[in-house]
Chain A
Amino acid sequence: MKVGFEIHIQVNSARKLFCNCNPKNEDISHLEFRRRLRVSSSELGEIDPAAAFEIKKGLDIIYVSGDKTSCLVEADEEPPHEPDPYSVEAAIKVSNMLNAFVVDEIHFMRKIVVDGSNTSGFQRTAIVGLNGNFDFRGKNVRIQTVCLEEDAARLQEKGEGHSKYELKRLGIPLLEITTEPLEISSEEARALAESLGRTLKLTGLFARGLGTIRQDVNVSLEGGGIVEVKGVQKLEQVSKVIDFEEKRHKMLFEIAAKLKERGVNEDSFEIDPIDVSEIFKSYANPTVKKFFKDSAMALKAPGFKGLLSYETVPDSRIGLDLADICRLFGFKGIIHSDEILKYGFGNDILNQIEDRLKVTDNDAYVLVFGDKEKAALCLQMVKERLKMAIKGPVAETRYATDKGTTRYLRPRPGASRMYPETDIPTIKITKEMKDKFKIEVKSWEKAVEDFSFRYSINKEMAEQILDSDFIDFFENAAESFPNVPPTLIASLIVQVFIPYQNVGKNIEYDEFIKLIELFSKGSIAKEAVIDLARYMLEKGLSLDNALKEMNIEKLSVDDLRKIIQEKISEVLQENIEPTKLYGTLMGRVMSVVRGKIEGKIVDEEVRKALESLKKD
């Protein structure tokens, strides 16, 4: 199996690639506008199946523009500004670092993307470096390209008939580093992504934190198409996704063999969707009422009987891909003949559909309910997808789920969807720039060592923090609260943040900074920091609410002294040996104040109290 990566990493610039917005600003107000993207029909299909697919879906696109994080450029209402010099410099530095050939002129291209994630209908991207290499476990991994490109808008909502995108992320400069596909195991692939990611992070040129680095993984088996899996954000997903794809590819080869056996070939697909609304109109059973509104379209799936629901790993069946295609068209899903019995339409209906479609022994069929024209278009796409199954795994774009499986996204775009961006003049890269824009990166081991030394934390923790999305949090907290031991902040990240992030929890930095502040004032104990953090994330609570619910009162030193005095009088009445006095007293006091105040303070106060007792 061959695996390649496209690593996308956000450049840590104070502006966007083609305008002067800073995405880190806070928006005061938001404005929405509504758009539709078009590609002329003669260019559809011929030029780019991915673009054709998006346009055919015919969805409205709503954009949300924040006043401080996006401007007329992101709204596609103003031509792009000069490319961000800092990002150009970063791209040259990284190209140099990866021993790539730096081009002499940067030509920005338009990569047509019409799902709405770019207001213009294209993403601007340019090659800066070519043919580099990266040393990984003694292997020389070839870096095909280093590209400088703009990030896309973030999908906020997918409704029926519309998609809503937020413009804050649109235009943030990204470097895209593409590795040449390698024969490699899933575990090695994960390690490679990790190693390359670490090297990039150490340049200091990139933003840190959640979503600032993501990888697309390309997977192919001999004789099959290349499947691109988008949006793999966590390294743990990488090996899972690759393993899943390997099994899915093998399954698709099996299915292709079975189809061949059944005599299915390209000619078998000279069929069209058929309107079967009439059949449903004469029935009114509850199932029909539930699904059938205005029309129903059906398509024969020649030779696919039993193959639409066939799967070797959960969620790998073709039926699911077909349902995903229909969902992309705004339908709730599809019903196919491998599963239709469980819905309870009644045999009468099923027989009539089979008659209309001329379904024979080995055939399956697919049903879509909803707008007739759209359903017909959608079933044409379904037909294309089915036709591809003759060949086994085909080139397509999928996305990674949290489970580590992948789902259908769109057909794989071809090279033809690239056009010159005429709004941006070419940028010359002089020899002086090539010589000057260089960067030295220390080894990961050295970086971990330095980090662990600097904050007096152990290396294991140092590495986990450097690898995490929380390095900014760590540095910020450690610098702001010098009296808080960095190991505590490190434990908070390693023991709480990382595991909770892995199960999909969102970590609100501000709340946890407050937590550390509370500790730095001595108002809560060390143990309470971790417990509270866990409780907050477990229950989704703010710090204040967690404090209330956990019954943690913040104890003042004065209160502590009162408690110590109480306990001293108790203990004194019990005639305890002087050598055991401290231990007993400490135990009694802690049983009352545990978690409410730092243990070290209790210790100090208890000793002080015993000292003054002796004097008396």
Chain B
Amino acid sequence: MEKIQDFSKIKFRIKDQVYEGIVMPRTLYEDEDHITVKLSNGYNIGIEKSKIEILKIEPQKAQSEVIQEKEFESHGPKILIIGTGGTISSKIDYRTGAVKPAFTASQIVDMVPEIKSIASINVKTIMNELSENMQPSNWTLMAKEVHDAFESGYEGIVIAHGTDTMHYSASALSFAIENPKGPVVFVGSQRSSDRPSSDAATNLLGAVTFAAKSYSPGVYVAMHASLDDDIIAIHKGVKVRKNHTSRRDAFKSINARPFAFVDIKKQEIRFTENKQEVKGSMRLYEKFSERAALLKFYPGISDKYLLSIFNKDLFDAIIIEGTGLGHVSRKAFPYLKDYIRNEGFIGMTSQCIWGSVRLTVYETGRDLLSIGVTPLEDMLSEVALVKSMWALGNGFNLKEIMPKNLRGEISERREVQ
């Protein structure tokens, strides 16, 4: 049977029953031997093509959904919302079920009308990448956009981003923009915005509220604090990590409390620490090098693997996610020694996620220190990786800059929580 044009009206017979409906597009994962028909009651069903006797086909033009930008008025501080892709800035096509990018100012206002009275917003989509596809070059682009936006007078920036690597991007921008003029708030959603229960709207509302009202320069991530829809946690971009595959409160501040909370209903911001003062003028260091790598140490790690990673021809910096306080097996020592002798940088973080590394407690740690491994305190391994890419990209001395606390990525004390 010939391919029937999508969205055609169709009348067909199976055995002695006549059915009518609309032919729906098939997804990539569905075969060509069946057709999907939307019946008049709204249900889709799949039928084997060979079974049906077509009585009538009326091809219809696929109604392309033209997004009409509507005029709206919004009041408050000037906020730029930057779209980069991901769940939060895409929309399901209800007819086909496909998720496609859609991120315009009027759509945001449509989804979260409360925003109009909080900030005067503009929206700019600069890329459309799923978060797993983000590259250091994307960070560079984002950093430049943010820098330029502040230069042109915006008071706060909100970046809508896929959640999987949002903490990498947040960390990248934390380093790339020194002394940002205002808040840069990353925001995502864990439950797709095509469902009435999506966290997209409240997260966005929390992010815009913080960007417009907190007067706290810095880079942050705004996501649900718990399973409740009313409190949004504001995490520092260098202290946050995605810790759950699907929960809306997947993002947690590690070794720190969230910087602030936004109460959506009351429109209040509650800070957990003193706000940071801007100390100097804004400066952009937008380059990132891909000559850094992250290695998770595990029992049974093979020599071949170690040999391929600790290779100065390929990498200038290796961040190790060691065990416990920051250890690797003795058997790895020769590779580490060799690599450092060749002027490679090795930074030590912990795969425990919570807590700080400490290489002075056990013999293994002291050996690693004497080999020349740099302990990175309680810096998250992902943050350490991004920081090393940034340091390499902008020509800093890693041995010097990596253990130094630049943007709050290292905490001196960890509170009893």
Contact = CB atoms under 8 A, between A and B. Distances in A.
Interface of A: 33-42, 51, 55, 72, 75-79, 101, 103-107, 109-112, 114, 119-122, 125-127, 130-131, 145, 147, 415-420, 422, 425-426, 428
B51 A104 contact: yes
Contacts of B248: 77
Given A104-B47, A419-B92, A422-B97, A41 B42 contact: no
26 contacts: A33-B226, A33-B227, A35-B197, A35-B229, A37-B197, A72-B247, A76-B191, A77-B248, A78-B247, A79-B246, A103-B46, A104-B34, A107-B36, A107-B43, A107-B46, A109-B42, A110-B195, A119-B197, A122-B195, A130-B19, A130-B45, A415-B40, A415-B42, A416-B42, A418-B42, A419-B92
B256 interface: no
B20 interface: no
A367 to B, nearest CB: 28
A77 B46 contact: no
Per CB-CB distance, the 9 closest pairs between chain A and chain B, nearest first, are A105-B46, A121-B196, A418-B42, A420-B97, A415-B42, A33-B227, A107-B44, A37-B196, A103-B45
A340 B39 CA distance: 48
Interface in B87-139: 92, 94, 96-99, 107, 110-111, 113
B198 interface: yes
B198 A38 contact: yes
Nearest to A427: B46
Contacts of A416: 42
A107 to B, nearest CB: 4
Contacts of B51: 104
B228 interface: yes
Interface in B26-48: 29-30, 34, 36, 39-48
Contacts of A42: 110
A40 B110 contact: yes
B145 interface: no
A419 B194 contact: yes
A175 to B, nearest CB: 15
B196 A38 contact: yes
A420 B194 CA distance: 11
B307 interface: no
Contacts of A420: 44, 94, 96-97
Interface residues of B, number: 47
A174 to B, nearest CB: 15
Contacts of B229: 34-36
Contacts of B198: 38
Given A42-B110, A75-B227, A105 B196 contact: no
Given A79-B246, A127-B45, A422 B99 contact: yes
B47 A105 contact: yes
Contact of A426 (B46, B98, B107, B194): B46
A78 B191 CA distance: 9
Interface in B175-220: 190-191, 194-198, 201-202
B43 A126 contact: yes
Contacts of A121: 195-197
A352 to B, nearest CB: 34
Contacts of A38: 111, 196, 198, 201
B127 to A, nearest CB: 23
B6 interface: no
Contact of A109 (B43, B99, B190, B191): B43
A214 B57 CA distance: 39
A106 B47 CA distance: 9
B312 to A, nearest CB: 43
B14 interface: yes
A206 to B, nearest CB: 22
B contacts with A: majority SS: loop
B97 A419 contact: yes
A127 B39 contact: yes
B230 interface: yes
Contacts of B98: 422
A469 to B, nearest CB: 31
A134 B67 CA distance: 47
B17 interface: yes
A58 to B, nearest CB: 11
A313 to B, nearest CB: 32
A38 B198 CA distance: 8
- Report which residue of A77, A109, A111, A112 has the largest number of chain B beta carbons within 10 angstroms of its beta carbon: A77
- Report which residue of A38, A72, A110 has the largest number of chain B beta carbons within 10 angstroms of its beta carbon: A38
- Report which residue of A34, A79, A112, A426 has the largest number of chain B beta carbons within 10 angstroms of its beta carbon: A426
A419 B111 CA distance: 18
B15 interface: yes
A282 to B, nearest CB: 33
B15 to A, nearest CB: 7
A425 B26 CA distance: 12
Nearest to A36: B229
A122 B198 CA distance: 11
A585 to B, nearest CB: 72
B17 A101 contact: yes
A394 B379 CA distance: 64
A106 B111 contact: no
B196 A104 contact: no
B48 A104 contact: yes
A120 B195 contact: yes
Nearest to B202: A36
B62 to A, nearest CB: 16
Interface in B42-100: 42-48, 51, 92, 94, 96-99
A497 B17 CA distance: 46
Contacts of A130: 17, 19, 45
B94 A419 contact: yes
A103 B82 CA distance: 45
B196 A103 contact: no
Contacts of B39: 127
Contact of B92 (A33, A35, A119, A422): A422
Nearest to A101: B14
Contact of B110 (A35, A37, A41, A415): A41
Contacts of B42: 109, 111, 415-418
B173 to A, nearest CB: 28
B196 A114 contact: yes
Contacts of B226: 33
Interface in B313-335: none
Given A72-B246, A114-B196, A34 B92 contact: no
A416 B190 CA distance: 26
B71 to A, nearest CB: 14
Contacts of B17: 101, 130-131
Contacts of B111: 38, 40
B41 A145 contact: yes
B53 to A, nearest CB: 13
Contacts of A418: 41-43
- Report which residue of B34, B42, B47 has the largest number of chain A beta carbons within 10 angstroms of its beta carbon: B42
Given A78-B245, A428-B46, 9 more contacts: A36-B230, A38-B196, A42-B110, A106-B45, A111-B42, A120-B196, A130-B19, A131-B17, A415-B41
A497 to B, nearest CB: 39
Nearest to A119: B197
- Report which residue of A35, A126, A131 has the largest number of chain B beta carbons within 10 angstroms of its beta carbon: A35
A39 B196 contact: yes
Contact of B196 (A122, A145, A428): A122
A111 B34 CA distance: 23
Contacts of A107: 36, 43-46
A127 B43 contact: yes
Nearest to A415: B42
A104 B46 contact: yes
Nearest to A104: B48
A44 to B, nearest CB: 10
Nearest to A108: B44
A77 B15 contact: no
B47 A34 contact: no
Contacts of A40: 107, 110-111
